[in-house]
Every structure is written in C-alpha cells, then in structure tokens.
Amino acid sequence: MTSLRIALACGLALAAASSSFAQGAGDNSCIVAGRLNDEARWAPRMAGVELLGQDGRVLTSADKQALATVKQVRLSAPALLSRCDGNAQLPAGPESPGAKGPVPAVGPGTVAVESVSYPKMRRGGELVELKLTVPAERVTMVTR
C-alpha cells in the first residue's frame, strides 16, 4: 500500500510540474540547438537536433540569414528546456554543478519554433537558442 501511495504521489507531482511549466513557459521554453564560433560556423551543432525551414526541409547552413528561416525543430531525443536569454550575454553559472534532479524537457518529435536568438558566450561565439511553442503534453521531466 505504501509503494502505491508513493507511486501515486510521484505521478501527481510530475503532472503538476508539467502543467505548471506549460502554463508559465513564456520565458522557459527555449532549447540550445548548437553554437556558432567567431566565424559564424557550427561549432558544434547539438546531436539529435534538426532545424527545419518553412518548406519542412532540413537546414544545413549556419549563417544567421538561413537560421532566421527556422520554423520547426525535429528532436530525436528529449531536449532540456531552459530560460530564454535572447541576445544577451549568458549569466555566470554556479561554481559547482549541484545535485542531480528532475528538470523539464521537451520530448522527441517536431516542435514549432517561435524565434531564434544568439546569446553571446564569454569566450567568443554565440549559442543558437530556439524559443519553442511547446504543448503541455510534450513536456516531460528528465534527470540531469
């Protein structure tokens, strides 16, 4: 009986976290598709992420003009959702990584892209950040 209660509580907590994340996802619905080096070349592109243009074809170019045409992203594995930094410089992270725990992610499949941003890295280059339109049923929790 106790393990049934624990399983039910965990299920309810996951559902509540997914629901509350989806409702307040306005600033927390971004993923990183890769990084551009100082010459605006992929360095590297994230594995399992395919950028799709308006016609549904995979984009292979890394120039910002081509990246501005991204309308969807196809994910082959869950991708961690994070706060959208836009074109600002990335904030400094903690000195130590901390304990592992559940974090929100978007599951595999195709997701609509609202916008593309390029947060600047401290040591040169920029991230390619995609702001997504994530349906609540696609949000899952993974341990990182």
**pLDDT tens figures, 103-124:** 999 999 999 999 999 998 888 8
- The pTM for the full model equals 0.75
Give per-residue pLDDT as tens, 70-108.
999 999 999 999 988 777 776 677 777 788 899 999 999
Q: Cα(95)–Cα(92) distance, rounded to whole angstroms?
A: 9
Give the pLDDT confidence of 6-56 residue by residue, as tens digits: 333 334 344 444 433 443 444 789 999 999 988 888 877 888 999 999 889
Torsion sign over Cα 64, 35, 25, 76: positive
